[in-house]
Amino acid sequence: MNDSKTQLQHDILTYILSTNGIVHEPELLDVYAQLKKKELNEANVLKLQTKLDRLIALINESLHSMDYKIEKYRQYTPMALRTISSASIGSTIANDSTNDGSSTRDAIDLKKSNLFYVYTNLKLTQSSKLATFYKPTELEFVKYVFKKLMEPNELSSIKDLNLSNDKSVSYKQYIDKIIRLDHNNEEDGTSSIGSGTYTSFNKGSTSLIVGFRNSDMNVDSLKLSDLENILTRLCENKWLTQYGDGSYSLYIRSLVELKDYIKCFDNDDGSSETERSEEREGTEGEGEELNGNICNICQKIVYLGGIECSNCNSFYLDIDCLKQFLNRCHSSDQSVICSYCKHEFNDVNDIIYIL
Ligand SMILES: [Zn+2]
Ligand SMILES: [Zn+2]
């Protein structure tokens, strides 16, 4: 392998690590193009994507012996969805507070990507990874936060949705665009958020902090400022994200880890009983709750954006798979029905939005 290629691998890996191990595809593509001294534009974006993926595969070969891997994870974020629904590039720039100043039109358009590169350790369990970042007393609060953020909030009416809640509004509008069940909204032609029922997982900091203090997991030595500081660090390390309304939810790193956690129960991968019981212990309680909202197609946890069948409450699809599912139904001229209970999806009341 020549030196410049090795250097390129090193530079890309260093960049990924500098982002705390999680980077949005357009951002990494931009870095890659700069390193290659190429301009990123519509004409060469596919080629650069392929080349970047080849480079990542090479990096993974050398990481393999150390049990690390860079993997791609699909997750639409509210920011990407806002970019998709923006009428023009101009409004995208105006609305996009996280615009990194990149001046090319196409690079901005790429923000609608739903792909992330995630640097992950294949051997350590979620709890042992957390244990390297947090003191044992702090871990008590961290565990509490994870447990709470895995619990779905009560069902609410879309009509009661706070319109300033960017995240939920973005997911609702995008799901409607795909599945087109919200006939009321189409008929009256207003730009209202429409109707239906939704659930979500995010929780306010007060409910997390007060809830912890009142729970039997409370650690007296942790002051209010310590707890706030832990929440901030969890966001920095991309385990959690905080939305405009101040609420917290699990984020890419957690979702990647939880995906692996589910996988280890799905496939008998031959790992020893000891390893398994350690994993069970480390992520206590999550197994039960996770059995609920697993995507019917890709087996990913449906957490940020998706739907659930309101009739059987057993059929879940995340946003990407919802598209795939509808394409499949339409191309075979089948009606859109729940794969489990065969309930037909005709109306917004046939589904529950996960926002
Ligand atoms: Zn899926
Ligand atoms: Zn069903």
89 shares its domain with 133:
no
Give the tens place of pLDDT for each residue, 201-223: 999 999 999 999 999 999 989 99
**Cα angle, residue 252 at apex, residues 109 and 310 outer, rounded to 5°:** 95
Domain count within the chain:
2
Q: What is the CA radius of gyration of the chain?
A: 21
User: What is the whole-number distance in angstroms between the Cα of residue 310 and the centre of ligand 2?
Assistant: 7
User: What is the whole-number distance in angstroms between the Cα of residue 299 and the centre of ligand 1?
Assistant: 6
Among candidate residues 241, 266, 290, the one where a domain is terminated = 290
Q: Report the pLDDT value the prediction gives residue 215, as an integer from 0 to 100.
A: 93
| Full residue range of the structural domain in which residue 64 is found | 3-121
User: What is the whole-number distance in angstroms between the Cα of residue 316 and the centre of ligand 1?
Assistant: 8
230 shares its domain with 255:
yes
CA 322 to chain centre: 15
**Residue 126, pLDDT above cutoff 90:** no
80 shares its domain with 98:
yes
User: What is the whole-number distance in angstroms between the Cα of residue 101 and the centre of ligand 1?
Assistant: 33
Give the model's confidence band at 8: pLDDT under 50 very low, under 70 low, under 90 confident, else very high. Answer: very high
9 shares its domain with 92:
yes
Structure token pair of residue 267: 């496939």
Give the tens place of pLDDT for each residue, 260-273: 655 444 443 434 33
**Residue 88, pLDDT above cutoff 70:** no
User: Mean pLDDT of all residues in the chain?
Assistant: 82
Among candidate residues 290, 315, 341, the one where a domain is terminated = 290
Residue 349 lies in a domain: no
Q: Report the pLDDT value the prediction gives residue 1, as an integer from 0 to 100.
A: 57
Residue 39 lies in a domain: yes
Give the C-alpha separation, 145 to 341, whole Å. Answer: 34
**Residue 89, pLDDT above cutoff 70:** no
User: What is the whole-number distance in angstroms between the Cα of residue 209 and the centre of ligand 1?
Assistant: 32
Among candidate residues 121, 145, 169, the one where a domain is terminated = 121
241 shares its domain with 138:
yes
What's the CATH code of the domain at 206?
Answer: 1.10.10.10
Check if the beta carbon of residue 254 is closer than 8 Å to that of residue 240: yes
Q: Report the pLDDT value the prediction gives residue 99, as an integer from 0 to 100.
A: 41
Q: Is the dihedral of CA 96, 97, 98, 104 positive or negative?
A: positive
Ligand number nearest to the C-alpha of 114: 1
151 three-state secondary structure: coil
Give the tens place of pLDDT for each residue, 144-165: 999 999 999 999 999 988 887 8
